[in-house]
Amino acid sequence: MTDLDTLSVNTIRTLCIDAVQAANSGHPGTPMAMAPVAYELWQRVLRYDPDDPIWPNRDRFVLSAGHASTLLYALLHLAQVKAVNPAYETVGEPAVALDDLKRFRQLDSKCPGHPEYRWTTGVEATTGPLGTGVATTVGMAIAARWQAAYFNRPGFALFDYDTYALCGDGDLMEGVASEAASLAGHLKLANLCWIYDSNQISIEGSTDLAFTEDVATRFTGYGWTVTRVGDANDAAMLAKAFEVFHREERRPTLIIVDSHIGYGAPNKQGTAAAHGEPLGEEEAAAAKRFYGWPVDEPFTVPDAVYQHFATGAGARGRALREEWTSLLEGYRAEYPELAEDLDLMRRRELPAGWATAIPEFPADPEGMATRNSSGEVLNAAARAVPWLIGGSADLAPSTKTRLTFDGAGDFTRDDGGGRNLHFGVREFASAAVANGLSLAKLRPYWSTFLIFSDFARGAIRLSALMELPVVHVFTHDSIGVGEDGPTHQPVEQLVSLRAIPGLYVFRPCDANEVAETWRTLLPWRHEPAAVVLTRQAVPTLDRSRYASASGLARGGYVLADSDGEPEVILIATGSEVHLAVEAYEKLTADGVRARVVSLPCWELFDQQPDDYREQVLPPSVTARVAIEKGATLGWDRYVGTHGAIVGMHTFGASAPLKALRTKFGFTQENITGVARDLCCYS
């Protein structure tokens, strides 16, 4: 290292020390130890333009060890990365000002405790709990390969970016990292590099307490190239490790970097303890003296360091981005249709007229499972939207999420242009990969059975937290699974998904509500959705007799109504709407004024104006029955204190569906009886 390199690394270290100390909260150890590694990557390797931090062919850097957030914030500040607004415009302000670092972990600072996508420009992903960040990068690497296959043409290599992640022992202990690493090795994602900070320390102490496996051998078994840097401060070995990655053409790369928490400070015992807490004034001062830094001048940044980053990372990134922009202009002239697709994808927009491809379904008393109609709609939409891509956690034949039209193909280690992904039995990784695809501006979906959504919950939550328009498709949505029994019958999962802020949960009742579900959600740019579908066939309602399925766009609507104000309102979702319709017909025939409300998406309905919601659910009508084959939590907001809920209060049972309906009260006779009792009571 030159003196200027050392000065830059120590600037990163001391900014991290000062930020954590000012907040009296945070993790200074890993940033101090890994500062030389991050510096080498950013200053000499990363293809990234601080003046245009969202240009599509930039390399991605993801801090999976998100507790070390000050490391990323220091880099963003020193590189003078420019902020980008929600309209994807660079506004000229710094993404991370020095004042933001001074207010680390404070309200409204651009430097929260863990990096947050959409909050701080330059944060490529909200990594959240350990392991999830590296799993997300697998989606980014898949996206790069797909974009290259779809857009690149001879002489126009628009997409060839790499994805890097910095992870630690905690990341590699988590199962989702193993799921994702296995998938990446299988797909031979040579554009993916994980940098593993092997420091043998976790919150409880030495990793000898619980983590003594041979990581190198494990990743070799996954099909990765593994290289080792014995000292995080060895710039020459770090450079060689990155060269190994760039030469590799058939495997992802793991760079194992041996480090010590707080490496370089005089008091090793104290700095090891600082993994999860500030150094304290005395040790912070000692560390600064060791680095030759002014002790009484916090947040010191020598002007030479700013200039050094500008002539290194900044100049290299600007030249690469300008070269790419020039290439794009030539591409527009040669391939205008593809260039238009690229523009639409970058803005998260859809091709003109895409919705005309969505089919309508004729009335059919036999009907079809909503998973089947969803498969038809998905295929129709995917033909019109080339970057709609996804797959299943080994269940595509059951979830009906395979794209079957000519040219769809499979994404494999040898074909990066296929649109069917095979995730294997890896639910958590599937959802995390889908997030990574979305971060690269593809329009992804993935699928499994509803009961297995629990395995993926961490990544589903991050879809909502990052405001990514990922579609999570869940089938086998109720005790309708039947003989498979309670282990496979979702009861509490609908409530659990509805509890996630910003996630829109759809449970359509028939084929036409399915069509409207996809028509509604696909244009969204920032809202994730869970689409919950049946295995069993349900009738396709006669929309000349009942209301149009277009009402789904408002979350809930009056499906069937009475003459005059209703005496009782039946509210249902999914397959149970048909039970409500049967009960409605019986009540109407017996002279009871009844209304059926289909409520496929609570979140959308709750966003409607008060007058619309009161038209659908008049406050004057207190006799209300909610019907759903799931936990009842939350339904009281719609039925009120005088209503009733026909739902699940226990787990299910193993039996044919007809027997289960009778046992748990999901019959027309029971619902009609409950409604009559409410009418009499009211």
Q: Where in the sequence numbering do the catalytic residues fall?
A: 427
Residues 6+ apart with CB under 8 A from 3: none
Helix (H) or strand (E) holding 621: none
φ/ψ (deg, to 5) at 63: -90, 90
Tokens of 471: 């579609």
Helix (H) or strand (E) holding 162: none
φ/ψ (deg, to 5) at 662: -65, -45
592, 675 contact by CB (below 8 A): yes
Rounded to whole angstroms, what are the CA distances from 120 to 94, 112, 124, 345, 521?
A: 10, 9, 9, 22, 26
Give one DSSP letter per residue of 339-397, joined into a string. Answer: HHHHHHHHTT---TTGGGGS-----EEEEEEHHHHHHHHHHHHHHH-TTEEEEESS-HH
Tokens of 449: 């059975």
Strands 537-540 and 163-168: unpaired
118, 467 contact by CB (below 8 A): yes
| CA 357 – CA 519 distance, rounded (Å) | 10
Residues 6+ apart with CB under 8 A from 389: 146, 382, 411, 419, 421, 437, 442, 443, 444, 445
220 by Cβ neighbours in 10 Å (0-12 / 13-18 / 19+) ranks as middle
448, 393 contact by CB (below 8 A): yes
Token pair 């794209």: residue: 403
Strands 568-572 and 557-560: unpaired
| CA 250 – CA 497 distance, rounded (Å) | 38
Amino acid in position 225: T
Residues 6+ apart with CB under 8 A from 223: 185, 186, 188, 251, 252
580, 572 contact by CB (below 8 A): yes
What is the end-to-end Cα distance of the chain in Å, rounded?
A: 82
Query: At what angle are helices 175-187 and 427-439 packed, to 10 degrees?
Result: 70
- Determine what percent of the chain falls in helix, strand and coil, rounding each to the nearest 5: 45, 15, 40
φ/ψ (deg, to 5) at 407: 95, -10
Closest CA to 522 of 344, 399, 340, 350: 350
Helix (H) or strand (E) holding 177: helix 175-187
557, 498 contact by CB (below 8 A): no
Total residues found in the chain within this entry: 682
Strands 90-94 and 82-84: antiparallel
Closest CA to 603 of 456, 518, 497: 497
User: How many CB atoms sit inside 10 A of residue 348's CB?
Assistant: 18
φ/ψ (deg, to 5) at 327: -60, -40
User: How many CB atoms sit inside 10 A of residue 281's CB?
Assistant: 10
